[in-house]
Structure 1
Amino acid sequence: MIDNEELPIGFTMSLAQHSDILSRFASLSKQEQERIVDGARQVKSREEMNSYVENMFQG
């Protein structure tokens, strides 16, 4: 998994609230994780981050 230093704090906090999503994220390849983290870096609010994390694997 990607170093915690590289993860946006809001992303980490939101993942911590969703253990099922965290487990799924952890099982991704490093490249897939980086793509998701890059998206998380564009998020500007707590509500948007929660929505981003909750919907990472939708669609």
Structure 2
Amino acid sequence: MIDNSDLPIGFTMELAQHSEILNRFAGLPETQRNSIIDGARSIESRNEMRNYVESIFHEPKTSFF
């Protein structure tokens, strides 16, 4: 189980936009999830966070804009 209080808000919001990545992230061992979360804590912009989340499992970036 993932404790949402430990997740950076921008990271949580991006995961919510990428259900496949969220499911795969949730299935990772805790040590790997913690490593990814630690990386997310240093990100300061929305675009960087989007790119970071999309790069977790190398999902291509999709946008309608």
Query: How does the TM-score come out when normalised to structure 2?
Result: 0.85
Equivalence for 1:53: 53
Choose 1 or 2 for highest CA Rg: 2
Query: How does the TM-score come out when normalised to structure 1?
Result: 0.93
SS at match of 1:2: coil
Give the unaligned 5+ runs of structure 2.
59-65
Identity of aligned residues (%): 60
Give the unaligned 5+ runs of structure 1.
none
Count of residues paired in the alignment: 58
**Is the 8 Å Cα contact of residues 11 and 49 (structure 1) preserved in structure 2?**
yes
Q: Which has the higher contact order (CA 8 A, sep 6+)?
A: 1
The list of structure 1 runs, each at least 4 consecutive aligned residues, that deviate by more than 6 angstroms after superposition, is none
What's the RMSD between the two structures over aligned residues? Answer: 0.8
